[in-house]
Amino acid sequence: MSGDIETFTASLYGELRRGDASMRDLKTRLVADVKKALVEVIAERPGTAWVDYHGHTKKVAEHGKLYDDATNDEIWFDHDGSETKPGYWKRGTIAYLTATFHVEDV
């Protein structure tokens, strides 16, 4: 089965509250966090041994599938949303990440 490829997607919601940094800063943090979330999505798959996503790595087992050499990375955001109620305001968005990995048995 060596030489296969698989595509994975992860998503993560982030919220900006009054007094916090800008929406741009929220999106920057979400990009870093959704990359870690993608590694976790793959690591939770049965049979996973190792995940390497551009420096975000996780060893799960000695033997199984190795997911590395990610290509076709695509990050996008849902529409920024906001909600206002008396005494309450929030603004947030969802970051999505899709990447294709080379898969090998180790």
Instruction: Delimit the domains of the chain by residue range.
Output: 4-105
| pLDDT per residue as tens, the chain (106 positions) | 446 999 999 999 998 866 667 888 889 989 999 999 999 999 999 999 999 999 999 999 999 999 999 999 999 998 887 777 676 667 889 999 999 999 999 9
pLDDT of residue 86: 72
Burial label, 96 (beta-carbon count in 10 A; 0-12, 13-18, 19+): middle
pLDDT of residue 88: 64
In angstroms, the CA 32 to CA 45 distance is 21
Identity of residue 96? Y
pLDDT of residue 16: 83
